[in-house]
Amino acid sequence: MATVPITLTVNGQAVRAEVEPRVTLADFLRDELGLTGTKLGCEHGVCGACTVLVDGAAVRSCLILAVQAEGADVLTIEGLAGDGLHPVQEAFWEHHGLQCGFCTPGMVLTAYALLQERPSPSEEEIREALAGNLCRCTGYQNIVVAVRAAAEKLAGAR
């Protein structure tokens, strides 16, 4: 199948590639760039496991094509922190906000996007923001606690 050239930024690095037009952004990140931290849980835009940031907004990478990301700035879980953990990741760790870990990259990035937009969300706002990310292990409570703790941690750092 014919390919299309694309240019984009992924985790701060310029990327040039030739992709088939039908390849999703998720498959491109995983299969072409080897960024397998982005997970596929449903491939129909419900579970949120494949959430990445595209130009700062949380996006389901299974629902857009790689060619649609032309010129975009993409952040995946691999690019969130340098060597250590980002405060959102630390908070998930401290508050047992993960079990099997499969939904975690998407959850962390969704929480990160929320806190970028709303540095001090209420519990209800946190739950609303996370409602598009399914977790089958935790019952969500510890994730909500972690996001609140991350908000405090980030506020303290400012």
What residue ranges bind other proteins (CB under 8 A)?
20, 22-23, 30, 34-44, 46-47, 49, 76-78, 80-81, 85, 89, 92-94, 96, 98-105, 108, 126-128, 130-144
What the block records as the tokens of 64 is 């857009």
Cβ proximity to other proteins: between 17 and 137 the closer is 137
Cβ proximity to other proteins: between 96 and 118 the closer is 96
Cβ proximity to other proteins: between 71 and 96 the closer is 96
User: In this structure, what are the phi and psi dihedrals at residue 51, rounded to the nearest 5 degrees?
Assistant: -60, 130
**Residue 102 CB contacts under 8 Å (≥ 6 apart), including other chains:** 39, 41, 49
**Shortest distance (Å) from residue 146 CB to other proteins:** 10
Single-letter residue type at 84: G
**Shortest distance (Å) from residue 125 CB to other proteins:** 11
Angstrom distance (rounded) from CA 16 to CA 19: 10
DSSP 3-state of 53: strand
